[in-house]
Amino acid sequence: MRTIIGNWKMQLSVQEAERLARDLAAGLPKRLTDVRVAVCPSYAALAPVRAALGEAPVMLGAQDVCDQEKGAYTGEVSARELVDLGATLAIIGHSERRAHVHEDDALIGAKVRRALAAKLLPVLCVGETREERDKGLRDVVVERQVRAALEGLELPARRELIVAYEPVWVIGTGTAVDPDDAVRSHFIVRETLRDILGPDVADTRCRIIYGGSVDRGNVAGFLARPAVEGLLVGGASLSAEEFLAIVDAARAAAAKGGGDAA
Ligand code: PGA
């Protein structure tokens, strides 16, 4: 089953986030069995969004999590608090955090472990910059980021992990990479996960999703590739109509038998 995740970043007021959550809840069926849907508002909007979603079949996610369990970490939010607020997943290592607050691979790896310990589903983001891509370093960078975050990890029994491949240079540009290009990156992530976690765990409990300028116009191309097991959607997740169209496209692809690679 594919996973469609909306990353609302810091784009909305709390009231706007609540309204968007209400519109999504109104536009979705009561139960979803063919696709998983999640939204990730900012920390401040988590509780209001949870309330606005009501019983809608939407997972609540955070955009980050502190690597420490608790303590004197001013400004941080713990995995435990996120769980208390109803979150079940957390984006970790988004390129905007790598760039703006200089999160490094070691910190990102610690956050993945902290999320897993708190029973949050980690959505680990990896992807190369324009400069790295131009130098032909995409494969090297993607493998290095996955290894640096996950090397030595034992995925706890029955727990799952999502890796989002997001080429940094297309995020927020309105132009995604060609789906076949994304598939190549997903292959690199898959092979690296198999090496780190073993083929069985990698193939049955790790999902690899694509992010970077996904919208209703280009989503079908990604959904036609079984290797793309979901989508991380930024800008297009800020409109209920647009995000619901992406969810519908994923449901249509599921009905055709796509997207169940694992
Ligand atoms: P975008 O953002 O869809 O606006 O490119 C994706 C992301 O940053 O996760």
Q: Which two tokens stand for residue 43?
A: 């920390």
Tens digit of each residue's pLDDT (9 = 90 or more) over 164-216: 999 999 999 999 999 999 999 999 999 999 999 999 999 999 999 999 999 99
Q: Is 102 a catalytic residue?
A: no
Q: Is 154 a catalytic residue?
A: no
CA distances from 209 to 11, 54, 93, 104, 226 (A): 22, 26, 14, 21, 10
Tens digit of each residue's pLDDT (9 = 90 or more) over 111-167: 999 999 999 999 999 999 999 999 999 999 999 999 999 999 999 999 999 999 999
231 near 253, Cβ under 8 Å? Answer: no
SS3 164: strand
One of 103, 166, 229, 242 is an active-site residue; which one?
A: 166
**How far, in Å, is the centroid of ligand 1 from the Cα of 211?**
6
Burial of residue 134 (number of CB atoms within 10 Å: 0-12, 13-18, 19+): exposed
